[in-house]
Amino acid sequence: MTRLLEIAGLNAWYGESQVLRGVTLALDEGEVVVLAGRNGSGRSTLAKAVMGLVRKEGTVRFRGRSIAALPTHAIARLGLGYVPEQRDVFPGLTVRENLILGLKPGKGRSLPPDVLRLFPVLQERASVRAGALSGGEQQMLSLARTLAGDPSLVIIDEPTEGLAPHIVALVAECLAALRTRGVAILLIEQRASLARELATRVAVMGHGRIVFDGSPEDFAADSRVQGEWLSLG
């Protein structure tokens, strides 16, 4: 069976500094894989490597097609969405204008109605400039803009970082709705509660490698992995 996303032997660098060291990971249709690990373990670099944003070598396939040499915009058009940790909204454009930028070429300027249904606050603030939004609203805008492109897989980097608890709950609801729609998700996230609620699998990174890949139940039961690769003490 063809995997939705297949990564094998992936290395990546920032300049001369190697960050990823032979990463192997795969996702199937509709899976939600939570990618855990300490800061600096290589999780964000893995996301950027898949999306063609850093220098890399190795295998990256999407629906059986090699995308390792493709530019970022071509990868996105194939149906792979990316929500970066920095959100990267355009502050001088309105909410609606930001969302329109997420549409695939040839789709006109009509937003998919289900995108706004997932984020009613954005519908209410459609004419507001993105720079005037709160951090939580900008996070929802970044996620909604990615979904406007109708991806079958979304890579989301630390969507709850720095958000108030009630906004974290809203983001979690949106991610659960995506899972229900059958969108595959690679979620870079530290919150164990989100992993328990959303994940079909948990993968853990350490020193630029995958050091654990298994079910949420196996992850919860593996005190060695949690102590060696996740605890801060």
Which is more confident, 214 or 111?
Answer: 214
- Beta carbons of 158 and 190 less than 8 angstroms apart: yes
- Say if residue 209's pLDDT is above 80: yes
User: Which DSSP state fits 158?
Assistant: -
For 29-42, the pLDDT digits (tens) are 999 999 999 999 99
Which structure tokens are listed for 143?
């996620």
pLDDT of amino acid 150: 87
Q: What is the mean pLDDT of residues 128-151?
A: 90
CATH of domain 5-229: 3.40.50.300
**Rounded to the nearest 10 degrees, what angle do helices 165-181 and 135-147 cross at?**
10
Instruction: Give the CA distances from residue 220 to residues 119, 196, 216, 233, in Å, rounded to whole numbers and listed in that order.
Output: 32, 9, 6, 18
Q: Can you give the residue ranges of every domain in the chain?
A: 5-229
User: Mean pLDDT over all residues of the chain?
Assistant: 90
What is the sign, positive or negative, of the torsion defined by CA atoms of 88, 145, 81, 174? positive
- Say if residue 67's pLDDT is above 80: yes
Q: How far apart are CA 117 and CA 113, in angstroms?
A: 6
For residue 221, give the 3-state DSSP assignment. helix
Q: Which of 73-77, 165-169, 170-174 has the highest mean pLDDT?
A: 73-77
For residue 60, give the 3-state DSSP assignment. strand
For 73-109, the pLDDT digits (tens) are 999 999 999 998 887 899 999 999 999 998 887 766 7
Which is more confident, 107 or 51?
Answer: 51
Looking up tokens 């079910």, which residue turns up? 215
Q: How far apart are CA 172 and CA 197, in angstroms?
A: 9
- Beta carbons of 82 and 47 less than 8 angstroms apart: yes
- Beta carbons of 28 and 22 less than 8 angstroms apart: no
- Beta carbons of 93 and 138 less than 8 angstroms apart: no
pLDDT of amino acid 231: 66
Phi and psi, residue 101, nearest 5°:
-65, -20
Q: What is the mean pLDDT of residues 109-128?
A: 84
- Beta carbons of 180 and 2 less than 8 angstroms apart: no
